[in-house]
Amino acid sequence: MSGYFDHIDTIKFEGVDSDNPLAFKYYDAKKKVLGKTIEEHLRVAVCYWHNFCWDGHDIFGAGTFERPWLQGNNDQAAAEAKLDAAFSFFEKLGQPFFCFHDVDIMADASTPKEHVENLAAIVDKIEAKMDASTTKLLWGTANMFSHPRFMAGASTNPNPDVAAFAALQVKHAMEATHRLGGAGYVFWGGREGYDTILNTNVGHEMNQLGRFLNMAVEHKHKIGFKGDLWIEPKPHEPTKHQYDRDVGTVYGFLKEHGLENEIGVNIEPNHATLAGNAFEHEIEMANAFGIFGSIDFNRGDPQNGWDTDQFPNDLRENTMALYYILKGGGFKNGGANFDAKVRRQSSDAEDLFHAHIGGMDLLARALMNAAEMIENDKLQAFKDDRYAEWHKGMGKQMMDGNATLDDMANYCLEENTSPAPISGRQEYLENIVTYVVK
């Protein structure tokens, strides 16, 4: 059977001097950086939904892509044609991982029973595909936001029967992820929030979400899934307000429900910016709380206030992201999933390759820049020096829990301390970054 990607050759590393747009310039998979290969560091994944499920429609217009497997009904034959297309793309790009939602991979189902059967039918096929391929599963998830039944939320729905449907989906999506050897499982609470507080009992809904996630954790242990669980924070879109708004909020929520040692975060830069946070802020917050998991790499549009999910292209921003990821110990089960889509006018098969090649080259460059910064870590040296006083004297006593407020106040009086301002050297530090980014 002839395929959609047949006219495109396997993508090779050709180096910076190549002007072949269908070749890697920086992503040299086996090149070692700080003792590991680029491929091992980045753990790149291609997502099913933006590449193989979306036909290019937007809220004003119909699909523009004409992908052959999306013509007609989404039955088992269509799901299998999509699977063939996806794996032929993976084989040509050569990235090590992919990610999916349950409904991305399977035939449409109209009853709970059909949902279970259709998912099982395609998981059998995926398993066979994976046996004959080098592509592994980074993470799976359940789509509990597209179907109309979820319009008022999944586990946070006012109707417990909707939460029961969500339980069915999570159970089977997690079991499928486990069976396919996935490294993680993601919860993105697309409609776990509200459109108007006039009809919403927020306290009750957050407790519903807390209970639901506890049940999911119990199920993970019951089935022996050894991968990680991650919540993907996003402040709003599609709903006005979502409970998992950013990393800090998620951590508070996890603590509240006793889940901070069970669930980490999958951070997406475009979600960070929607929440008014920098990408690097979210990574460092996750590092500080010990819940860093994985990244959905993409970018927003600086002038548009929504989740445009464009492929990343900002070398400075991503150099700093990789720097903080490496400083936190790097990816373990997580990786670099591109939760990004080509623009609606980029309607050819080639465009999917340009997008991923650019993203992978960008991350490889960012990784090499970050490694260079770490090898001569002037930023860390500056910080170590800036906080050095906390390792001795009164600062240490306070941090060790050996000083009261009175002790600190008396120390101030006795020593007559009136500290002079010390420069934070922001521009000097920014220049260090400027000199490395290339």
- Active-site annotation holds for 101: yes
Residue closer to Ni ion by CB (options 28, 339) is 339
Q: Which helix (H) or strand (E) holds 141?
A: strand 136-141
Site for ligand XLS in 99-158 (CB under 6 A): 101, 141
In the complex, the smallest distance separating the C-beta of residue 101 from ligand XLS, rounded to whole angstroms, is 6
Residues 108 and 79: their CA atoms lie apart, in Å, by 9
Q: What is the separation, in whole angstroms, between the first and last Cα of the chain?
A: 44
CA angle 361, 136, 15 (to 5 degrees): 20
28, 104, 228, 307: which is the annotated catalytic residue? 104
228 lies in the binding site for ligand XLS (CB under 6 A): no
**Positive or negative: CA dihedral 14, 19, 24, 27:** positive
What are the structure tokens assigned to 220, written together? 């993970």
User: Which of ligand XLS, Ni ion, none is residue 104 near (CB under 5 to 8 Å by kind)?
Assistant: none
User: Which of ligand XLS, Ni ion, none is residue 373 near (CB under 5 to 8 Å by kind)?
Assistant: none
Residues 135 and 20: their CA atoms lie apart, in Å, by 25
Site for ligand XLS in 43-82 (CB under 6 A): none
Q: Helix/strand/coil (H, E, C) string of 109-121?
A: CCCHHHHHHHHHH
Find tokens 């999933």 and name the residue: 337
Query: Could you tell me which residues come within 8 angstroms of residue 287 by beta carbon, excluding any fewer than 6 positions away?
Result: 324, 327, 328
**212 and 166 in contact (C-beta within 8 Å)?**
yes
Residue closer to ligand XLS by CB (options 152, 373) is 152
In the complex, the smallest distance separating the C-beta of residue 115 from ligand XLS, rounded to whole angstroms, is 17
In the complex, the smallest distance separating the C-beta of residue 333 from ligand XLS, rounded to whole angstroms, is 16
# residues near ligand XLS by CB under 6 A: 10
Residue closer to ligand XLS by CB (options 174, 186) is 186
In the complex, the smallest distance separating the C-beta of residue 147 from ligand XLS, rounded to whole angstroms, is 13
Among the listed residues 237, 283, 292, 235, the one whose alpha carbon sits nearest the alpha carbon of residue 263: 292
Helix (H, G, I), strand (E, B) or coil at 163: helix
Find tokens 């306290």 and name the residue: 203
DSSP secondary structure, 181-219, as one string: T-SEEEE--TTSEES-GGG--HHHHHHHHHHHHHHHHHH
Site for ligand XLS in 295-324 (CB under 6 A): 296, 307
Closest CB to ligand XLS: residue number: 188
- Active-site annotation holds for 301: no
In the complex, the smallest distance separating the C-beta of residue 270 from ligand XLS, rounded to whole angstroms, is 8
Instruction: Provide the mask over 350-389, with x wherever binding to ligand XLS is found by CB under 6 A and - wherever it is not.
Output: ----------------------------------------
Find tokens 């020593």 and name the residue: 415
Residue ranges in contact with Ni ion by CB under 5 A = 268, 296, 307, 339
In the complex, the smallest distance separating the C-beta of residue 185 from ligand XLS, rounded to whole angstroms, is 11
What are the structure tokens assigned to 416, written together? 């007559």
232 lies in the binding site for ligand XLS (CB under 6 A): yes
282 lies in the binding site for ligand XLS (CB under 6 A): no
Q: How many CB atoms lie within 10 A of CB 218?
A: 11
Distance of CA 224 to the CA centre of its chain: 23
Residue closer to ligand XLS by CB (options 281, 378) is 281
234 lies in the binding site for ligand XLS (CB under 6 A): yes
User: Which of ligand XLS, Ni ion, none is residue 141 near (CB under 5 to 8 Å by kind)?
Assistant: ligand XLS
Strands 241-242 and 263-267: unpaired
Residues 139 and 227: their CA atoms lie apart, in Å, by 9
Quick one: which of 102, 205, 228, 339 contacts ligand XLS (CB under 6 A)?
339
Residue closer to ligand XLS by CB (options 339, 361) is 339
Quick one: which of 24, 90, 185, 188 contacts ligand XLS (CB under 6 A)?
188
Among the listed residues 148, 150, 168, 4, the one whose alpha carbon sits nearest the alpha carbon of residue 71: 4
What are the structure tokens assigned to 92, written together? 């040509």
Residues 338 and 238: their CA atoms lie apart, in Å, by 20
Residue closer to Ni ion by CB (options 268, 282) is 268
Site for ligand XLS in 168-187 (CB under 6 A): 186
What are the structure tokens assigned to 221, written together? 């242990």
Quick one: which of 28, 268, 280, 372 contacts ligand XLS (CB under 6 A)?
268
28, 41, 50, 101: which is the annotated catalytic residue? 101
In the complex, the smallest distance separating the C-beta of residue 298 from Ni ion, rounded to whole angstroms, is 7
Kindly list the catalytic residues: 101, 104
Applying CB under 6 A, which residues contact ligand XLS? 101, 141, 186, 188, 232, 234, 268, 296, 307, 339
